Every structure is written in C-alpha cells, then in structure tokens.
Amino acid sequence: MVGSPQPRDDVGSQRPRVIVGTVRTRVIVGSARARPPPDGTPRPQLAAEESPRPRVIFGTPRARVIVGSPRPRVIVSSPWPAVVVASPRPRAPVGSPWPRVIVGTPRPRVIVGSPRARVAGADLSSAPSQGAPQGRRQDEHSGSSEEGPRPGGAAPGRRQGHVRLLSTAQGVGEEEEAAPDELEDWAQPCHTARPAASGWSLHSTPTRAVWLWDKGEELEAPFSIIPPTKCLRKEAALHVHKDFHPRVTCACQEHRTGTVGFKISKVIVVGDLSVGKTCLINRFCKDTFDKNYKATIGVDFEMERFEVLGIPFSLQLWDTAGQERFKCIASTYYRGAQAIIIVFNLNDVASLEHTKQWLADALKENDPSSVLLFLVGSKKDLSTPAQYVLMEKDALKVAQEMKAEYWAVSSLTGENVREFFFRVAALTFEANVLAELEKSGARRIGDVVRINSNDNNLYLTAGKKKSTCCP
C-alpha cells in the first residue's frame, strides 16, 4: 500500500519538500513549517501567505479555511470544500484577476460575503443550500477566468456597463439608465423592485416580449401559452389550452398571486456531454454562441427575469455537467427543480436514448407529479430535413413516454430558443400561480382578516370579495 521509503531531501534544502510513497501526495511550496537545518542556521521562513507561487495541494484530507488569502489558490481533487471567509478581494463576477480553479470537489464551496450568495438566499427552496455555486468551465485550467463574457460574441452586459430599467409593466414606458450595482438585487422582492431590472416581459395573447439589455433595443417576440405551430407540433405539446388557465389570468388581474412574484423558480438542464446545454442557455440569456466546446464542471446557472401577465417572475436556469466524472457534483443540484429540460443532440441517436436515464436521475431528487418536463433536440441546424424527420419521430415517441413536451432548437441560429424559454417560463409561472391558489385554499389571497373582540370567534374572514372574473 505504502511505497518503499524514499530518501528525503536534505533538511534545509531550498527546494520544496516532496514526500514520495505516502498514501497522500503532498507538495507544499513555501511551507511555513519547514524544520530548521541541523547546523542551527536559521532558515528563512517562507510563509504560505508570502509565497510567490500558488499553493498546490493534492488530495488533502482536511478542510481548509482560508481567511483573506492574498494569493491565488489552485486546488485539485480536494474532497473538502474550501471555505473562504470575508475575503478582502472583491469577488465580483466580472474580470476577477485571481484564478480560482477547483476540480472535482464533491461539495459546494461556501463563500461568505460573495455578492452571489445573496441571490441564493432569496429563496432557500430553490437556491443552493450553501451559497450560489461558482460554475466553471474547463478552460479555467489555463488560469483564465470565465466570469467575463465568453468568446463567440458580444455578450449583452447585464453584468457590465449599463443596463436599462423598464418603468412600466407594459414595457412601453419611460426608461432610465442605471449602473449594475444600482440595480435591485435579483433576490429583492419583485413587487418592490419595480421598475423591474432588465428582463423579459410576457403578456397574454396577443403579446410582446420586451428585452432591454445594454443595447437598449426592444425585441418583439410572439408569445402565447400555445406555442406557434411552426415551433411545435400539436402532438408534442403537453398543454393544449389556448391561453393561461382562467384562474391564473384572473388572479393576475386582481394581483392575487401571493408569493409567486417573490419566488425564483429553479429549472435544471440535463443531458449528455456536448449536446449543447450551455450554448442553449447562453443563446437565450446572453444571445451568444461559442463554437468551441468547453465542458461544464459541476454546475453553472443564469438568472432570467420575466414579467408574466404583469407579475414579476424569475427563472434560475441551472446548467449541469454532462460528463460522467462531474455527474455526482451536478446531481447534488437537481433538488427543488420546478422544470427539467432534458437535452439531446438531434444528430446523435445515442444521446436521445440516454435521455431516459437523465430523467430518471433528475426525478430521484424531485417530485415527478409536480415537475414540468421538456425534451429538447439541439443542433437542428446540423440536420438535413430528411434526417430531422426521422429523428423527430423517435424523439416524439420518447417525449410521449416520459410525458415531456418536445422542442427542436438550434443555438447556432437561435431557432426556437426564445420561444422555447418563453414557453418554459409561461408554464412554470402558470403552475406556480395555480399551486399558490391551491395553497391559499378557503382563505383567498388578498382577503382582509377582521378581528372583532366582541365576537366569540375572534378570527373571521371578512367580506370575501366576490371575484368578477374567476370561474
């Protein structure tokens, strides 16, 4: 088990101490615990904090708590989370000069004081339990930070430059400029956060979606609870009613949607490696496309903010790793999803077959009766019409088996991407409002409780307002 003992370097050597043959390899550069040489010459103490080089620790069995370390940390295959408390360096998502690379850690890192942690705290049911994950792409091994815009296009600058605030619910009102740090945190309750930060505004049919990012341009997009037929064949859609459920429309008109506007709904995106999950999310959230493959390590997520029927609504889109070796990390984030998007490559039949396993894994962590399912064929631009027809037949069969709604998209051209996410947002919103109405039960949201001290029954629901539009 333990290798034959190797001669150690001379004590006092200026070289790093390397112990070969132990179960755990330790390479400590600039260790502060170096023993003094036998001749008594005091050896210069090279404190870890002063080390000119990054500390490299392989497989250390102990948790490391690094308080305000001024140095970059490179941690490979650590089984323990790195806990960074009150780091003096700003951990702004954009342009951090300090590479942080964590490969294969099975537990989320806890970053206290991170601006992202506040986002996670907004809704503990949908947010990760220990702060938001710092999603990473594999090219970070090179030390470059991927927190800035990814190559492949000019990412709209929600996190850079200026964004526009939309000051009316209808998306046609006054606009004003605001620096990102002036914006309401995503986690702020949306009712008070109006005017909403940039995002999508969805209305009942006929409708328009307004997208105002740094470009300030308004994009019209058709939206309906029924997707346009060119996007989706009838048999592929699970929900065939013409518009939102009447109870939902009514509740929105009367502003009786309870906590829906305060919640962040979690959507997870799963599927084989390289099927295009990241590109799909990036096409919608950043309007970018990267033709270079960079494997997602663990998970990453994007927030997207909508306004549906005048009610603010947020989706948290979780991009999970498709590579087997990162699956165990990614699967810890499956819990609490309200919608599951299973992606396969329209040009790779094996990836379609694997979707059932992806669904089974995702459902282990979620309630199958309440979660919305979507089966998405990606890279439509690479299929010829004839190939597509063949694949669509198989995909529809699988979708019906799993009771998922089927979509075919291309992140390269953008075909159906926006329509698809609008659909996800609309159906998730509808499910949320219906659940909220269900939960409120006998006592309707918005009712006033009058307390009458002369009455034996102290708690009376007073004057239930008869709804003018609810069935």
Which of 34/341 has CB closer to ligand GTP? 341
Is residue 355 part of the contact set for ligand GTP (CB under 6 A)? no
Among 19, 183, 219, 295, binds ligand GTP (CB under 6 A): 295
State how far the Cα of 77 lies from the Cα of 81, in Å rounded to an integer: 10
Q: Which stretch binds ligand GTP (CB under 6 A): 119-127, 317-325, 362-370, 393-401?
A: 317-325
Total residues at the site for ligand GTP (CB under 6 A)? 24
Which of 8/356 has CB closer to ligand GTP? 356
Is residue 183 part of the contact set for ligand GTP (CB under 6 A)? no
Among 128, 171, 227, 322, binds ligand GTP (CB under 6 A): 322
Residue 57 Cβ vs ligand GTP, minimum distance, rounded to whole Å:
26
DSSP 386-422: HHHHHHHHHHHHHHHHHT-EEEE--TTT-TTHHHHHH
Is residue 201 part of the contact set for ligand GTP (CB under 6 A)? no
Which of 166/269 has CB closer to ligand GTP? 269
Q: Footprint of ligand GTP on residues 323-352 (CB under 6 A)?
A: 323
Nearest of 358, 371, 367, 281 to residue 323 by alpha carbon: 358
Q: Which stretch binds ligand GTP (CB under 6 A): 376-384, 387-395, 424-432, 463-471?
A: 376-384
State how far the Cα of 466 lies from the Cα of 248, in Å rounded to an integer: 16
Q: Footprint of ligand GTP on residues 269-288 (CB under 6 A)?
A: 271, 273-279
Is residue 290 part of the contact set for ligand GTP (CB under 6 A)? yes
Q: Are 385 and 416 spatial neighbours (Cβ–Cβ below 8 Å)? A: no
Residue 320 Cβ vs ligand GTP, minimum distance, rounded to whole Å:
7
State how far the Cα of 307 lies from the Cα of 78, in Å rounded to an integer: 42
Among 83, 382, 396, 445, binds ligand GTP (CB under 6 A): 382
Which of 269/437 has CB closer to ligand GTP? 269
Q: Are 93 and 134 spatial neighbours (Cβ–Cβ below 8 Å)? A: no
State how far the Cα of 381 lies from the Cα of 388, in Å rounded to an integer: 10
Among 114, 145, 296, 314, binds ligand GTP (CB under 6 A): 296
State how far the Cα of 422 lies from the Cα of 212, in Å rounded to an integer: 16
- At 461, phi and psi to the nearest 5? -80, 115
Residue carrying the six token digits 């941690």: 75
Provide CB contacts within 8 A for 347, sequence distance 6+: 379, 382, 383, 387, 391
Is residue 378 part of the contact set for ligand GTP (CB under 6 A)? yes
Is residue 243 part of the contact set for ligand GTP (CB under 6 A)? no
The 339-345 sheet, strands edge to edge: 200-202, 299-308, 311-320, 264-271, 339-345, 372-378, 405-408
Which of 176/324 has CB closer to ligand GTP? 324
Is residue 268 part of the contact set for ligand GTP (CB under 6 A)? no
Query: Which spans of this chain sit near ligand GTP (rule: CB under 6 A)?
Result: 271, 273-279, 290-293, 295-296, 321-323, 378-379, 381-382, 410-412
